[in-house]
A and B are shown apart, each in its own frame.
Chain A
Amino acid sequence: MSDQILWYATRGAGAVSLVLLTGVVVLGIAGALRWQTAGWPRFLTTSFHRNLSLLSLVFLSIHIVTAVVDPFTALGWTAAVIPFLSPYRRVWLGLGVVATDLLLAIAVTSLLRRVIGRKVWRLIHWLAYACWPIAVVHGIGTGSDTTFLWMLAIDAASVLSVLAAVAWRLSVRPAAGPAIRPAPEPTW
């Protein structure tokens, strides 16, 4: 009975993490594009981006811990941080571990960005574009609920949101500043 609880907790927390991370990615893109409306100032985008990412780490932890302590999966703690270690659904689970490692790198560098400086922070932050799709594939590949309608709907909505956001990002050329035009030396 308690095994069932752990099993449901893992799947539930996993789904919630995915939804939250989707929100984080979309908000990150909206922030980079400096999107705002009269009722939504830009600091809200940044704040939600950060808060949701921290919240997703909480649900991700629940997802991982419940999976590891679940006797059915026979996962050890090391398999939770080193990808492709465990034979249990080796590839799909391994991808989940990869996504987790990337997310941890992004989160830690963000918390320490004052110390490490902008260039390094930015480089690592770009890994988000790898982390999110890997997490989605992990969910679809290893998820026991994939074929259920509600899970399909969540997956579809998440993928469409991020695709739309990325398309938006690519379509907007950054506003170029005024060209610094050469001018002759004054004479009179």
Chain B
Amino acid sequence: MVKLATDTRLLAGPEIAAGAESYTAHLARLGPLPGSRYRGDLIQQLEDAGILGRGGAGFPVGHKWRAVAERSGGHAALVVNGAEGEPASLKDRSLMSARPHLVIDGALLAADAVGADAIVFYVGTRHHRAAAALRRAMAERKPEFRRRVDLVEAPAGYISGEETAAIHFLEEGIAKPTSTPPRPFERGLWGRPTLVQNVESLAAAALLARGAQGRGTTLLTVSGAVHRPGVQEIKLGTRVADVIHEAGGLRAPAQAILLGGYFGSWVAFHEASNLYLDPGLLRGAGLGLGCGVVSFLPADTCGVEATAQVMSYLASQSAGQCGPCIFGLNAIAEAVARLARRAPRGDDLERVTRWGGQLAGRGACKHPDGAVGLLRSALRVFGDEFASHQRYGVCSRTAALRGAA
């Protein structure tokens, strides 16, 4: 991995395994937060640097802050989103447990910039170490907050980190998305303009405020057929080949990578290994970093089977509020599962393809969109495998293994 000239990596400092960095060490390494007089227009800096959100949607952070700041009147709310409902992603909980003070720095900067008089740290209920580290750090920083601050545990589940679901949970205890308009930046938590921002995005803002140049680094969660899966910090633009190298190399030949999480895309391995992990370049190829998940599918695993697991999981995680999501994802999951088992109905592949083109934009949130996005990339990357399962009931992966035996 290419090291930056000035070490403004998010995870610079002690190893993640060493636990939460203390406030003293944090200050010694990074110095205090610039006082408001010296911060300049942080929102403008974020826009100029083109920092994108790290929660999955990739929305420009500066624009988001500006939209809230324009409406806040000093009474906005900030939700620090550490829910990390994506099972394959570990980066947010790692960042919160290892660098809680950097996350708090980002939260303070955001709250000041948008005029928020309340901050809620929304941390996934399973992320015990992260919550403990943040609680301790919050106690240490108490005098700095000068506003209402809470830490609330987000329920486990894929959608609990969705913006409107987070707000709905904080207000009424129900982690389900709500209809928009109004969007949170207009009217969110307790009716106020609300900024819901991922913890990594806030940490990136905290480094930018201290003079980090450009778009800096981003966090990935590398998993699958590599020797050393785990959280990796990369400079934007790093090649997938370098990510593999940093993860100790492949432990088995890989056929594809899942890029961006379950709302991301499959990419064929021969296309992926020369990919540059830069949001702009990826967008040109119809791809995105999403929540930073990079998962290597081994060549001896059936792509249809892997896709079936993801579709079943996403169907199970539907909030159950919108017909197209409930019925559509359920039907897709069942059909892809039958295809994976090589016992499809005659029109399963045709219907799955049709439904895949029909669900986007027809729910209250982006859950069905993300799911069919993944499905369509699967039909593209594993197209031959899907066809083989549908027409001949034959899996080339297992057939190849049988042939090799």
Contacts and interface: CB of A to CB of B under 8 A. Distances in A.
Give yes or no for direct A-B contact (beta carbon below 8 Å): yes
Interface of A: 177-178, 180-188
Contacts of B88: 185-186
29 contacts: A177-B323, A177-B326, A177-B327, A178-B330, A178-B331, A180-B315, A180-B316, A180-B326, A180-B330, A181-B315, A182-B316, A183-B309, A183-B313, A183-B316, A183-B333, A184-B309, A184-B313, A186-B88, A186-B262, A186-B306, A186-B310, A186-B313, A187-B309, A188-B224, A188-B295, A188-B297, A188-B301, A188-B306, A188-B309
A180 B312 CA distance: 10
B248 interface: no
A177 B87 CA distance: 26
Interface string B14-27: 00000000000000
B320 interface: yes
A184 to B, nearest CB: 7
Contacts of B262: 186
B306 A183 contact: no
B377 interface: no
A177 B301 CA distance: 33
The secondary-structure label for the interface of chain B is helix
Interface string B287-313: 000000001011001000010011011
A183 B340 CA distance: 15
B320 A180 contact: yes
Contacts of A181: 315-316
B318 interface: yes
Contact of B313 (A177, A178, A185, A188): A185
Contacts of B295: 188
A183 B306 CA distance: 13
Nearest to A184: B313
A184 B320 CA distance: 18
B373 to A, nearest CB: 16
B222 to A, nearest CB: 14
Nearest to A181: B316
Contacts of A182: 316
Contacts of B330: 178, 180
Closest 7 pairs (CB-CB, A-B): A186-B309, A183-B316, A183-B312, A185-B87, A178-B330, A183-B313, A188-B301
Contacts of B331: 178
Given A181-B316, A186-B309, 18 more contacts: A177-B320, A177-B327, A178-B327, A180-B315, A180-B316, A180-B320, A180-B326, A180-B330, A182-B316, A183-B312, A183-B315, A184-B313, A185-B88, A186-B87, A186-B313, A188-B297, A188-B306, A188-B309
B298 A188 contact: yes
